[in-house]
Amino acid sequence: MRELRLSATADADFQACQRRYQLAYLYDLTKDTDKDSLRLGGNWHRCHELCELKAGAVCPDCSRHEAIDPNCYVCGGTGYVLADTMDRVARYLSHAYAVVPDNKTRDDWETERVTLLYSLSGHRWLYAAEEDRWEVIGSEIKVVIPVINPDTGRKMPKIVFVIKVDRLVRNKINGLIYVWERKSTSHSITSAEYWSGLAQGDQVSGYIYGARFAQVNGLLKPYGVLPTEPPVAGAWCDVWHKPDIQPKKVSKADLKTLAETGEYCGTHVQYPASVHPAVIGESIVESAEMYGARLLGDIAERPEHYFAQREVSRTDKELEQFQRRLFNIGKQIRHVEKNDLWVCNLQSCENKFKCEFMDLCRSGVQVSPEAVPIGYRKRHPQAEEVQIDG
């Protein structure tokens, strides 16, 4: 019997469509394409990880290899983390966006790089004072815990719940511990609907439940969190609204100002090489650098449109309900799997986001655990994790 690995995302997929769950988690399939939202969100997380590295510490990337990489974006070939935080980020983004994929133009690729760079600059500017309030005691912590029968207290055989914590932080003022979760979204973060959905979802419940379980079982001791301390207080959600503005045409007046002063939207930028300074005729589309300058100005004018940080908590009763829900979902999946009762829910095919398996299902292609359909691939191997058997 295979090990069943539950997670907030996997559980939601099973409840939305059993067939989607089967293909994604039982057969371990995913589209063989680079998904824009996942790439952007992943790079956003990586940029923050680089910001949190301690200047002068041994380079975590080069320490995994026998020799120091002279082109390492973390240490610049010195073997030690570079002192300039944004320099690390800029080096990483230059590395990540060095090769333009076939489905992107050079302008699109460069605009995405600049979007991340300038958004991070705005985020650090907005929350500079808040950073002194928190002590980061752990980053990228992956925890695997058993699923417990709430009636007997026994572990379910070969069923575990998996969480990955972006970072674990301690409030320097009151000493309380929080799970810190970074999120990126295209939805409005000023609406009550977004925060209501986040507060009511299983993802936050999973973070708090998993972190508390880990704390009680002593697995957070390496991070200075003891089982005898007050339990993990909640989740702190740090949300980035991905920019919805795009490069636009530059007015003749702005182009003239740029030629005369070297500034665009209040920021010094390089004059586009494709336009001669003496020719202020037809308008041009913003270069990636010019777009970045306008984006940074927009962030300064309305930061609440782009960033928000809020605490989301759970009562003991809510966590007990979450524990039972995990148990019930585990039983349901085992029953469906044992009896081969996988059902496709057609109403979920295009609900909010198009299911990545929709074309595969509608084409009637037969799928098995061994065969990988054209256009799909196996998911990447899981990272190292902390296993809790208590």
Maximum distance among all alpha carbons in the chain?
A: 81
Residue 25 shares a structural domain with residue 42:
no
Which of 109, 132, 155 represents a domain boundary (last residue)? 132
| φ/ψ (deg, to 5) at 298 | -65, -40
pLDDT score recorded for residue 332:
96
**Residue 380 domain-assigned (yes or no):** yes
pLDDT score recorded for residue 282:
61
**Residue 1 domain-assigned (yes or no):** no
**Residue 255 domain-assigned (yes or no):** no
Residue 103 shares a structural domain with residue 28:
no
Residue 125 shares a structural domain with residue 49:
yes
Residue 344 shares a structural domain with residue 372:
yes
Residue 128 shares a structural domain with residue 46:
yes
Residue type, 216: V
**Residue 212 domain-assigned (yes or no):** no
Strand partners, 167: 139, 180
Residue 48 shares a structural domain with residue 73:
yes
* Tokens 């939305």 sit on residue: 16
Closest CA to 245 of 283, 309, 296: 296
For residue 7, what are the CA distances in angstroms to 161, 163, 178, 243, 267?
6, 7, 19, 29, 44
> Domains in the chain: how many in total?
2
pLDDT score recorded for residue 36:
85
Residue 47 shares a structural domain with residue 70:
yes
Q: CA-CA distance, 67 to 286, in Å (whole number)?
A: 42
Residue 54 shares a structural domain with residue 95:
yes
pLDDT score recorded for residue 69:
94
Mean pLDDT in consecutive groups of 10 residues from the start of the chain, 390 residues? 89 92 91 84 94 92 92 94 95 96 92 96 93 89 93 94 92 95 92 86 91 94 95 95 93 85 88 62 81 95 96 93 96 95 87 82 82 82 46
**Residue 19 domain-assigned (yes or no):** yes
Closest CA to 235 of 264, 263, 203, 258: 203
Q: Is residue 165 within a helix (H) or strand (E), and if so which, with residue range?
A: strand 155-171
Residue 53 shares a structural domain with residue 101:
yes
Sequence-separated (6 or more) residues with CB below 8 Å from residue 17? 343, 344, 345, 348, 349, 355
Which of 78, 103, 132 represents a domain boundary (last residue)? 132
Please list the helix, strand and coil fractions of the chain in percent, rounded to the nearest 5, in that order: 40, 20, 40
The pTM (predicted TM-score) of the whole model is 0.86
Sequence-separated (6 or more) residues with CB below 8 Å from residue 276? none
Residue type, 272: P
Structure tokens given for 139: 């980053």
* Tokens 């999946």 sit on residue: 333
Q: Count of residues for the chain? A: 390
Q: CA-CA distance, 309 to 260, in Å (whole number)?
A: 40
Structure tokens given for 191: 């609406």
**Residue 127 domain-assigned (yes or no):** yes
Residue 123 shares a structural domain with residue 51:
yes
**Residue 47 domain-assigned (yes or no):** yes
Domain with 121, as residue range(s), is 36-132
Residue 61 shares a structural domain with residue 49:
yes
Q: CA-CA distance, 382 to 390, in Å (whole number)?
A: 22
pLDDT score recorded for residue 31:
86
Which of 99, 132, 165 represents a domain boundary (last residue)? 132
Structure tokens given for 296: 């940074």
Residue 20 shares a structural domain with residue 71:
no
**Residue 229 domain-assigned (yes or no):** no
